[in-house]
Structure 1
């Protein structure tokens, strides 16, 4: 067995905490954990520690929470840990060159895509939305660019026609920690690959916005299906339904493109059954299977129809009452 690496870990959400857990269970030595400052959460706006900090404290690990690394003393303090490598997973802070060069082997990142495809903020969602057949994680040597560093190891998994972003998140949360430990073992041996990315194959995974969650039935059914799955668990796709003079925002939690040709205008309800509310699109039919009315919890289409049959009539525009 190779000599354990001294690791400084930097991360924030549960996805990062699962990677930290794998490092704690490995033969490597986590000497410090970096997290952003605690943030107010809940109705009482009580300062709350992130998932990574909570896990670190439960294992009596030293936790550091600088606001950023602009101060020279913060970089000097990081250097005092004499780390071999800094592992960064969904940290949320931009690391300057001075930090990237502080550990002996630099900094490595776990990125939720098969690089160089889908660099950026929302790789899981964008790969699903684009209709990719697979996704994965890339263990990458960090540089000053945005997800542009050399690749050390890539692990992949398929994307199914039922997967939501949350499903893919869970898949990668299982795949990533194993890949990370494997990559660190290679680094500890001193014999590990550093494969430059082909920039010609790169594209960018833009950050999600609430505005893009609005459904447009002028798009094809399969495009809408993927979008609905991609924007879960946030911001959740929706459409406005005008009933009388009042607009109601209706969220769509589950839908599927079905093998049926629609001759009606896009947005027209073509069928209403217990299986769902079928809506014509520019290409094909989208079946709405689980909806959420304002102020209510998500319900099956059958339950929605039982309470609001007048809102969803065959021949009606889905956006009109």
Structure 2
């Protein structure tokens, strides 16, 4: 039986799940998203990916600043939804909202809960060096990602994954998991499982400053930082007083003889077509794609065509 769904979300991750619902038997009666935000160099007000998709399908869009007014609650109740599907919405839902749909509110969260609760679970998993991730669909309660788990879908994290690649893989497993969960809710066969709060970590919102590379850290830690913050907010280092963004790097084998060096962390110990080999606090890291100030990202071999002499004269990053 088709369910009447109110959908709430903001980013592309949410929009991709909305697409799946639009292709299903269920009816999307309204879409909730945050107010339009300034974006781009002109700071023009821009609709969220979720709003853009809803308008494309002629679906009613609501953009309350919060749910603190009686009017906002009354509007939600008027849609008479069976369930509210919430994905990266970014607003706290009061208990009155959670209780409004017949089957409550469910959330699609990009983590194997309770491992990473909060705003940036994909990035934090990579930064921490986790070897697996997944999607958890939970029945929402008044806590932050603390509700009972309805379904878990797991996937590996590969050694070269960026946050963008993991993001896309989680969409692929989250879409069918959402449809399956809705079917269980409709049939009354869902089996909620409580989270173990002792295993929870908070995935803090990302700050641009986290992208600054400290070369005294190990090559493994810096590799995680680069991958975890790609494409946003991006990892960067300094060279000749300007920021250089690191788009792609490769962790060199720990047992490689070339990994032994007494060079100061941040020093380029070798340069060639494959990239810059840079000393760290422990091990070596190969930088393959960089973005110099005012330029587009490009392979190091192309940068060397124009700046090899400059890097030979000043081969230290972070200074």
Q: Identify the residue that residue 293 of structure 2 maps to in structure 1.
A: 294
Q: Identify the residue that residue 92 of structure 1 maps to in structure 2.
A: 90
Distance 1:212 1:150 in 2: 32
Q: Identify the residue that residue 200 of structure 1 maps to in structure 2.
A: 198
Q: Which moved more, 1:224-233 or 1:76-85?
A: 76-85
Distance 1:295 1:239 in 2: 15
Deviation at 1:45, TM superposition (A): 3.9
Distance 1:71 1:177 in 2: 33
The gaps in structure 1 that reach 5 residues or longer are: none
The gaps in structure 2 that reach 5 residues or longer are: none
Q: Identify the residue that residue 245 of structure 2 maps to in structure 1.
A: 251
Q: Secondary structure at the match of 1:9?
A: strand
Matched, 1:24 2:22: yes
Q: Identify the residue that residue 261 of structure 2 maps to in structure 1.
A: 263
Distance 1:115 1:255 in 2: 30
**Contact 1:280 1:286 survives alignment (8 Å):** yes
Deviation at 1:184, TM superposition (A): 0.5
Alignment of 1:1-321 (within 5 A): 3-242=1-240, 247-259=241-253, 260=256, 261-264=259-262, 265-313=264-312, 316-320=315-319
Deviations 1:3-25 (A, max 9, x none): 22211101112211111111111
Q: 1:204 to 1:298 in 2, by over 3 A?
A: same
**Contact 1:227 1:237 survives alignment (8 Å):** yes
TM-score relative to the length of structure 2: 0.94
Q: Secondary structure at the match of 2:312?
A: coil
Q: 1:228 to 1:44 in 2, by over 3 A?
A: closer
RMSD between aligned alpha carbons?
1.5
**Contact 2:214 2:318 survives alignment (8 Å):** no
Distance 1:49 1:302 in 2: 39
**Contact 2:226 2:247 survives alignment (8 Å):** yes
Distance 2:280 2:44 in 1: 46
Count of aligned pairs: 314
Q: Secondary structure at the match of 1:291?
A: strand
Distance 1:210 1:76 in 2: 39
Q: 1:47 to 1:217 in 2, by over 3 A?
A: closer
Deviation at 1:194, TM superposition (A): 0.6
**Contact 2:239 2:316 survives alignment (8 Å):** no
Moved over 6 A (4+): none
Distance 2:34 2:269 in 1: 50
Distance 1:228 1:309 in 2: 23
Distance 2:216 2:44 in 1: 44
Deviations 1:66-118 (A, max 9, x none): 12111011111111111111000111211111111111111111100000101
Q: Secondary structure at the match of 2:7?
A: strand
Deviation at 1:44, TM superposition (A): 4.3
Q: 1:147 to 1:93 in 2, by over 3 A?
A: same
**Contact 1:262 1:280 survives alignment (8 Å):** no
Q: 1:209 to 1:24 in 2, by over 3 A?
A: same
